[in-house]
Structure 1
Amino acid sequence: MANGSGSLSERTANELYSMIVLQKTFAPGEKLPNENDLSQKLGVSRTTLREAVRYLVARGVLSVQRGRGTFISEDLAAFNKYDLGALSHARLGDMYEIRLMFEPHCIMLACFRATEEELQRIFDQAQLVERMVRADGNWPGEDQKFHEMIAAASHNEFIIRMFPIITAAVNEAMEMSDNTEALKNIVIYDNRDMCNFLRLRDGAGAKSAMNIHIRHTINALGLSAGDL
């Protein structure tokens, strides 16, 4: 998608793309909400929304069916075509090395590019994660959404396209681990730190906080990330 410094229609296309591909707000084949509702949700005019939709239609993410409306592509797998299959413990360590190289830069970009609305949604999600942890609910899934929102707020097409691979690795790690209890405090306090730096738009601080968080996770899961 377009860089965060682009036009409003490009940024809207970026946000809509992340809702579809990254956050999975809509299912494949689902009809988009009507223009009025969706433009209000995104905080833009209908004209801006139409331009963003045209961009995504050209990319194959959306399709227009005359007389019926605009629909999500039936084949979203084309935008997430990396099928990792089962990852060995060693390969999970490799994937977490990628996280160390990838996500700290991602949150740094989000510090500089996220809209105030995006930041507020990230903060709200962090609070939801904390409530889910304390209630012993499905906090890993909600924590992944927290990281996905940060990725979306980077407004970087490569990051948005690559992030589902990261999500797949996290899923594998959680399923293989018998030490998720150790992650609970890590998630609560590390997420608070990351949100504090995002709130200040302190890119260097946020980058460091994400690096520390991933290292905490690596240690808790008993993985190895080489010499990084």
Structure 2
Amino acid sequence: MVVAEAKKARTFAKVQRPRLYEQLMQQILAFVEEEQLGPGDHLPAERELAEQLGVSRATLAQALVALEVLGVIDVQHGTGAVLVHRPSVATVLRELREHKNRLPEIVEARSTLEVKLAALAAERRTDADLRKIDQALEVMDSEISDGGRGARGDELFHEAITAAANSSVLEKLMAFIAEMVLETRLESLGQPGRPERSLESHRKIADAIRRQDAQGAAKAMGEHIDMVSDVALLKEGR
């Protein structure tokens, strides 16, 4: 009787259907293994990969961004995807799930730190700080105009905001989470149309800092973090 009751009480966890980008990652890694590709070797061009896999380039981009975030490939404008190292499929899927689980905490940390940094930057910025912020915007604009994602300009912009805030403690905290922020940066800028929207968001933050509007800078940064944190890996859709 006890055994029977125990069996009745047992429940099963729902089986999670792999998302499409996870399936694509597995197929790309299987291709790497079959072709015996090594570090420095190029994957086929995105258009060719998308056609062979029977998916849109936007869907394929999600899988490539995930592989880039995990350090499996390096994607550069004009050169395509280059293999950095060849891990097992099981290892990549485990790391992907661990990464997905910590994304909300990374977003939380950015929202807490960078909103405050933007407000302080508006209060404390110097002319030299404004020049660095403008230079970062120019770099990002140039990268996007050339067909890139603007990742370097994005990084320079947030570094310039941090420097303008003139807070050594907050600067150290940002340095501590820099590698994790890079994960969200790559994912965000890999979303279709996101580089352009991110650049426009940066300009709103810069304008508020230029006016020394601390409240406006904080609001603009908060909205920016919300926007860039909207990434495919946190959505249930396929």
Corresponding residue to 2:115 among 82, 88, 104:
104
| Residue 150 (structure 1) aligns with | 161
| Residue 132 (structure 2) aligns with | 121
SS of equivalent residue, structure 2 residue 192 = helix
Indicate the structure whose relative CO is greater, using CA pairs within 8 Å and at least 6 residues apart: 1
**1:137: how far off?**
3.2
Instruction: Identify if the C-alpha distance between structure 1 residues 93 and 113 changes in structure 2 by more than 3 Å, giving closer, same or farther.
Output: same
Q: Give the greater-gyration-radius structure (CA).
A: 2
Q: Distance in 1 between matches of 2:129 and 2:189?
A: 33
Q: Which residue identity lines up with residue 133 of structure 1 in the other structure?
A: I
- Give identity over the alignment, percent: 24
**1:177: how far off?**
6.5
Say if 1:174 and 1:180, in contact at 8 Å, map to a contact too: no
| Residue 172 (structure 1) aligns with | 183
**1:174: how far off?**
4.3
C-alpha RMSD of the superposition: 2.3
Q: Which runs of 5+ in 1 are unaligned?
A: 1-84
**So what's the TM-score if we normalise by structure 1?**
0.55
| Residue 38 (structure 2) aligns with | none
Matched, 1:216 2:227: yes
Q: Cα deviation per residue 1:13-38 (whole Å; 9 max; x = unaligned)?
A: xxxxxxxxxxxxxxxxxxxxxxxxxx
Instruction: Identify if the C-alpha distance between structure 1 residues 137 and 120 changes in structure 2 by more than 3 Å, giving closer, same or farther.
Output: same
Q: Which residue identity lines up with residue 94 of structure 1 in the other structure?
A: E
Q: Distance in 2 between matches of 1:107 and 1:161?
A: 16
Q: Which residue identity lines up with residue 224 of structure 2 in the other structure?
A: H
**1:153: how far off?**
1.0
Q: Distance in 2 between matches of 1:200 and 1:157?
A: 23
Matched, 1:132 2:147: no
Q: Which residue identity lines up with residue 209 of structure 2 in the other structure?
A: L
| Residue 10 (structure 2) aligns with | none
Instruction: Identify if the C-alpha distance between structure 1 residues 128 and 141 changes in structure 2 by more than 3 Å, giving closer, same or farther.
Output: closer
Q: Cα deviation per residue 1:146-189 (whole Å; 9 max; x = unaligned)?
A: 10111011111111111123321122234556943332122121
Residues 38-49 of structure 1 mapped to structure 2, 5 A cutoff: none
| Residue 57 (structure 1) aligns with | none
Paired positions, count: 140
